[in-house]
Structure 1
Amino acid sequence: MSSPSSNSVLDAHTPLSFPQSPTIIPQPYNEQAPKLKGRQRLLAGLQRVSSSGSLTRSRTRAYSANGKGSISCISLHSTQSLNTPSLGSALTNELSVGYSTAPTSAATTPGVQIPVFDESARLRYLSKLNGKTSAGVPSELRSPTTRTGTTPGIAEVDEDYFSISIPTRPKKSKDFNFWRDLPAELKMEVLTYLQPREIVRLSSISHSWHTMCFDGQLWSSLDTTDFYQDIPADALVKIITSAGPFVRDLNLRGCVQLSERWHTKNLSDACTNLENISLEGCRIDRTSIHNFIYANSNLVSLNLSGLALATNSAMKIIAGNCPKLEVLNVSWCNHVDTRGIRKIIECCANLRDLRAGETRGWEDEEVMLLLHERNTLERLVLMNCDSLTDESLGVLMEGKDGEVDYLTGRPVVEARMLKLLDLTRCRGISDEGLKTLVGNVTVMEGLQLSKVRGVTDSTLTDLLPTMPLLTHLDLEELDELGNAVLQCLAAAPCASRLRHLSISYCELMGDSGMLPVLKTCTALRSLEMDNTRISDLVLTEAAAMLRGRAPRTILQDRADFIPTVGLRLVAYDCQNVTWTGVREVLSRNAEVFVTTHATELPALERKKSVSKRGLMGISGSGFSSTENVATTVSPGRVGTPRIHIMRSSSFPSEIIQLKCFYTFQPTVEEHTKRVLRGDFSAARRLERKWAEFMIAQEEAGAQGAGSRRRRRRAREARMMHADEEGGEGTGVAGVGGSGIVGGGRRRRARSGGCAMM
């Protein structure tokens, strides 16, 4: 029998049942290897240490009762001599349990000699390894793929014994907190979308939220208009002191709760970079006002309206410390006059908006001459300034001792830059002073002459054509004006631009003046006509004007639309306005047109006929049962074309918000409320019921007290007509009989009665 190679491995099988492991018997050497010396011995020792160079792999198959795979046997062959001490004593316990040295395969394997077990070969247990690993086998000797067709349960070892990964416990998922991990910049950006009152409420969540909510980056603009009555003083002080250097726009209008904290918390010194500040209505002392002005030299807009402690000293500080000032409001400051305002005019070259209502000293022509020479003002508000006279207004418009045009007799001056002039309740102004505006205010957009006495039609008819950009005109309580002014306004170049018109208490104006205005001034948004002689024709024309101006909104297969208010109309206490005119406005506001048209759709191809129940289900989606019967055809045929009914609704895009007689006003408000929420059907129902009620009331008043009242009014009208004519007597029907009032007889005494009746 030939000697097997030293690098071969025998496949061992055992007939014993599981869990007996296969027996590995190393083959003895036939010849004793020569003893190595020197370098060869060193290399042989290294080869012995690293067994990867002499490992070969063989597969063994064993029979297992539980289906588990057997263990591959590995023969370790080294080049050491046989004189090397045996290691069997150290592995006696290990080998005695896992392996058997009985020659069980000798009888079944002819021609194969089973060698005797050599204890010098150290064997390792592989029973606990995963069947997919290969221990100690070099990568170049491993099979690239798993051999197919092997017995189930017998696995192949692919990895090294020492490279087995130890299973570890799965790591717990990290606690995810979106807001905590968010960068601070993004947090600030999110908080900028909140209202100031919401930010103050969030500050009470925690200390970190408190610090974040009072960060100055959130308060670059602090406007307390919406919450000045609700925010406590401590919270407002905290915001101002913490965000002081960051604040650019500060509006403390009406914050009276800070009256005791201006000095204790150093509020006036906290903000140093303000550009726009409003202290209107605050209870602030003189020192704090001065500190605010001293600490903010970049002020562009300053509002001190209504501060009783604002004086000319503050005006002097503004003039010396705020050269960039453009807007100044010192209205209702009783201790400010033109002496302080003059210093601001001289030092603040960019001043363009001056509001000095109810201040004194405007009869000073030197101040007016300074404003005329500077000619930078775009807005001048002098309401309730009784000191303003015709002479000072003339100096403002035409200057003093200027060149005179000999043809017109008027000074030749540059046109003023004024865009808004408010002369409301200036009792020192008359018709002579307003004549100086003719031709000198070509860029005027707003003119308020309310309650200015002595204004006549001729002055305004000369002035209105010279203001082509006029958009706001206030002529309230000018009882000497007539319809000629309105007719001139309708023909003026500014007719297409006019948006606001007020003729309240102009008792000489009526339909002949307002009808042309409504026909030409189609851009009107606000119209005040209370206590005038207008009638229902004006309301009807206003509704027609809005109908032609605002295009209607058309929606397909929809019945919901919310319009907007396009015209605010005030017509209360007008004796000639009745419920009929009011109904015209309400009818136009809820006017909805519904149109239907048929559309032909392509025919459907059905595979089988549809039952009657199916047709009823289809008809619920917008088609009639007759139409569906027409589309039902035999299998494989195309039916007749379908007819689809399209419905389109036309809604008013703008409505009129009306203020009328106080007995009609509740109905009008409820009707407007329904229209603005898109409930047009309810609005039309309310209008119809109200009209039925008014008609029934008039019919009921035909007899009884109503008839007596109408007869009394008719009698008074006839008596007034008789007095005006002074002619012969005319019979007048009385309550109980008849009487004669005419020439030659003494007229009966008249009490006059109620003016409203």
Structure 2
Amino acid sequence: MASSSESDMSLDPETPLTPMADAPASSPLGDRPKEKRRRGLLRGIQRISSSQSLTHIGRPRANTAPYGNRVTLSCVSLAPTSPLGQNGPGTSTPGYFSSAPGTPAVEFPEFEGIETRLATRKVVNASTTCLNPGSVSLPQDLAATRSRSGTVRKPRYDFWANMPDEIRIQILSYLHPKELVRVSRVNKYFYKFCFDGQLWTRFDASEFYQDIPAESLAKIIVAAGPFVKDLNLRGCLQIEHHERAEIVAKSCKNLINATLEGCRNLQRTTLHSLIQSNDKLVNLNLASLSAVTNSTCKIISRHCPQLEMLNLSWCKHMDARGIKMVIRGCPKLRDVRAGEIRGFDNLDVAQAIFETNNLERLVLNGCVELNDEALKTMIHGRDPEVDILTNRPMVPPRKLRHLDLSRCSQLTSRGVEALGHFVPELEGLQLNGCRALTDSALEPILATTPRLTHLELEDLSELTNEILSEHLAKAPCAPRLEHLSVSYCENLGDAGMLPVIKKCVSLNSIDMDNTRIGDLVLAEATAMVRSRAARTSARGSRPRIGLRMVVYDCSMVTWTGVREILSWNARVRQPSGNKQPTYPTEVIGLKCFYGWQQTVEQHTQRVLRGDFAAAARLERKWAHYMQAVEEAGAVGAGIRRRRRRAREAQMLHANEEEGGVAAAGRRRARTMAASCSVM
């Protein structure tokens, strides 16, 4: 009866369960299997009755937990106890198990008086008689510190509005003009700062003049006018309207550099108003303006005392007398560009240029009226005193550094040789198209200009190899010469150019098209670049073009000379021993016969990106193709076989030019010519 009563009690959910430690010690041995079954049943009920909503809440059990066996713990009581000590609905006493859903039970084996060890915390809503399963009330001590009304949301910090104006301007200064206009559309605040004058001290419309409408251009200039110091409206035809031009002229008062080249529709009154209101102008470019006249030059001479550079090239409604007024009224003028201006045969203008002796750059290209007498007056002055011993005028040397006399067709050797001994600081000399010049005109100039770096002698058909081999190659400027142009000098050949290339080791550009040079010049140029350029062992380094050569329309240049340059550009040296291979740092950029130019450009592209193996393969296949073409042109037995080999070589070379992958289907027709028909 006792065992049956205990079994009934264990199955009755309303009856409190006693722990196993309270079982009578005098139970018979036969009751042990039942006791084990009862314990297993109790464990199953305990697992089923545990709340699923509390199993995943909180962090995992610590390794230092005071409980030795693996049991499931939950709060002892989540609801307040009644004052009479009775259990309310949904609650259980610490010493008993409960299978009611939503009330997690805890098993504390071998612990007595656990309710005294685990103090019960007071819970908010103590008057609640039943808790919602799966929810836990917040303890009262925590609820007192965190109230719903006490959580104040932190206001959003406006970073841009609280930033100093100086920093805003500095950030916006990194934007280009087009980007500033786009950013100004964000809001009125951005519009205000994007058109701040400090961001528009330099206004260059040459990059977007075709895209910006006239109204926007005028609005920008008006907004930033007092701050603009560098104004470039080159090619802007939008300001053709009189009112818009007047707005631009009235807004800009502090210009230092102004470029109005190509503004053909600019009115004369507007231009004069702009010049008169900017007395701090240093650089002024009015090239190709039809509004420029001698009266404009007079205004410049009166209102621009700080002027240093003036460009009046291709202004058709003025002459050299305007240049004279500017030279005399602007004492700081150093750069005058007056290409294709009439009236430079006037000796008064030449005397004004001589008296100033401040000019460092004088550009008179296309001034067809300039003659020997006027040029000599610019250098020696009128009736100079002559030294008896040297037979040279006793005048101070000129400060000219760049002189352009191209296409001054009336100049002869008698006038140009006057430059000798009087331009010691000359760095650039351009005499293109002065066909009457001979060797005697250049001999004194080359001997007395040690700083010469740029020399252009294009289309001087009277020059001979002697001026190059005996004078230029031995001149004091030879080691410093960087650019040389002898195009269309039909009498120049290998005899003159070989000494020049050997001595002028600083050359980085040389134009020799339409001359008599041959493959020896190309080979010598290769050797010169090889000797001056250091090689590197870094595999990932990329070479640069150190010498640019133009040799098209030269009948003596063959494909073998071109191959010499291509071969050296892609050469990787394998030194003896365990040393690493070396790679070139400088290569030659070549412009040759148009039938070979495509191969040369493809080869140069591969070299510049460091693919020397592909470049060498292209050069080798191109050489095989050129040899096959030459054999196919020979007469005699086997001509059909040679032509077949030429076609096969052409296909291989074409595939290599396109990256080494043959195209599917029939290829497009290619020319089989190996040389120009004119040659």
Q: TM-score, normalised by structure 1?
A: 0.65
Deviation at 1:176, TM superposition (A): 4.6
1:191 match = 172
2:559 match = 579
2:678 match = 756
Deviation at 1:449, TM superposition (A): 0.7
Paired residues, number: 519
Percent identical among aligned pairs is 51
Gaps of 5+ in 2: 1-80, 86-113, 128-138, 640-675
Deviation at 1:309, TM superposition (A): 1.6
Query: Structure 2 counterpart of 1:592, which letter?
Result: V
Does the C-alpha gap of structure 1 residues 514 and 175 become closer, same or farther in structure 2, counting only changes over 3 Å? Answer: same
CA displacement 1:267-320 (0-9 Å, x = unmatched): 111111000001111121212211210121100010000111211111111111
Deviation at 1:581, TM superposition (A): 0.9
User: Tell me, what secondary structure is at the counterpart of 1:318?
Assistant: helix
1:457 aligns with 2:439: yes
User: Tell me, what secondary structure is at the counterpart of 2:284?
Assistant: strand
- Choose from 386, 406, 416 the match for 2:388: 406
User: Tell me, what secondary structure is at the counterpart of 1:481?
Assistant: coil
Deviation at 1:175, TM superposition (A): 2.7
1:699 aligns with 2:621: no
Deviation at 1:502, TM superposition (A): 0.3
Query: Structure 2 counterpart of 1:579, which letter?
Result: W
- How far apart, CA to CA, are the structure 2 residues paired with 1:381 and 1:276? 19
Q: Report runs of 4+ in structure 1 exceeding 6 Å deviation.
A: 62-66, 704-707
Does the C-alpha gap of structure 1 residues 470 and 529 become closer, same or farther in structure 2, counting only changes over 3 Å? Answer: same
2:515 match = 532
Does the C-alpha gap of structure 1 residues 686 and 181 become closer, same or farther in structure 2, counting only changes over 3 Å? Answer: farther
Does the C-alpha gap of structure 1 residues 253 and 660 become closer, same or farther in structure 2, counting only changes over 3 Å? Answer: same
CA displacement 1:579-601 (0-9 Å, x = unmatched): 11111111222222356976xxx
1:4 match = none
2:430 match = 448
1:667 match = 599
- How far apart, CA to CA, are the structure 2 residues paired with 1:548 and 1:334? 50
Contact 2:230-2:258 at 8 Å conserved across structures: yes
- Choose from 263, 268, 271 the match for 1:282: 263
Residue correspondence of structure 1 range 365-380 to structure 2 within 5 A:
365-380=347-362
- How far apart, CA to CA, are the structure 1 residues paired with 2:243 and 2:585? 51
- Choose from 62, 68, 84 the match for 2:120: 68
Deviation at 1:667, TM superposition (A): 1.1
1:591 aligns with 2:571: yes
- Choose from 331, 350, 373 the match for 1:349: 331
Contact 1:221-1:250 at 8 Å conserved across structures: yes
Deviation at 1:648, TM superposition (A): 3.5
- How far apart, CA to CA, are the structure 1 residues paired with 2:315 and 2:546? 37
- Choose from 415, 423, 429 the match for 2:405: 423
- How far apart, CA to CA, are the structure 1 residues paired with 2:281 and 2:312? 15
Contact 1:302-1:327 at 8 Å conserved across structures: yes
1:565 match = 545
1:551 match = 534
2:320 match = 338
Contact 2:457-2:486 at 8 Å conserved across structures: yes
Query: Structure 1 counterpart of 2:633, which letter?
Result: G
- How far apart, CA to CA, are the structure 1 residues paired with 2:178 and 2:121? 75
2:56 match = none
Does the C-alpha gap of structure 1 residues 704 and 380 become closer, same or farther in structure 2, counting only changes over 3 Å? Answer: farther
- How far apart, CA to CA, are the structure 1 residues paired with 2:156 and 2:289? 56
1:680 match = 612
- How far apart, CA to CA, are the structure 1 residues paired with 2:285 and 2:243? 18
- How far apart, CA to CA, are the structure 1 residues paired with 2:637 and 2:466? 41
- Choose from 244, 251, 260 the match for 1:270: 251
User: Tell me, what secondary structure is at the counterpart of 2:432?
Assistant: coil
2:199 match = 218
- Choose from 521, 527, 531 the match for 2:504: 521
Deviation at 1:755, TM superposition (A): 9.3
Query: Structure 2 counterpart of 1:679, which letter?
Result: D
Deviation at 1:690, TM superposition (A): 1.2
1:209 aligns with 2:190: yes
2:666 match = none
Residue correspondence of structure 1 range 159-174 to structure 2 within 5 A:
167=147, 169-174=150-155
2:460 match = 478
Cα RMSD after superposing both structures:
2.9
* Structure 1, 695-704 or 325-334: larger mean CA deviation: 695-704
Contact 2:372-2:410 at 8 Å conserved across structures: yes
Contact 2:413-2:440 at 8 Å conserved across structures: no
- How far apart, CA to CA, are the structure 1 residues paired with 2:356 and 2:190? 52
Query: Structure 2 counterpart of 1:394, which letter?
Result: K
- How far apart, CA to CA, are the structure 1 residues paired with 2:575 and 2:407? 54
Contact 1:261-1:267 at 8 Å conserved across structures: no
Deviation at 1:676, TM superposition (A): 2.2
1:717 match = none
Query: Structure 2 counterpart of 1:522, which letter?
Result: V
- How far apart, CA to CA, are the structure 1 residues paired with 2:158 and 2:624? 66
Contact 2:295-2:322 at 8 Å conserved across structures: yes
Contact 1:262-1:268 at 8 Å conserved across structures: no
User: Tell me, what secondary structure is at the counterpart of 1:371?
Assistant: helix
Query: Structure 1 counterpart of 2:399, which letter?
Result: M
Gaps of 5+ in 1: 1-16, 22-61, 71-96, 98-127, 132-163, 599-646, 708-753
Query: Structure 1 counterpart of 2:559, which letter?
Result: W
Does the C-alpha gap of structure 1 residues 529 and 264 become closer, same or farther in structure 2, counting only changes over 3 Å? Answer: closer
- Choose from 627, 649, 657 the match for 2:589: 657
Deviation at 1:194, TM superposition (A): 2.4
User: Tell me, what secondary structure is at the counterpart of 2:594?
Assistant: coil
2:212 match = 231
Q: Which has the higher helix share?
A: 2
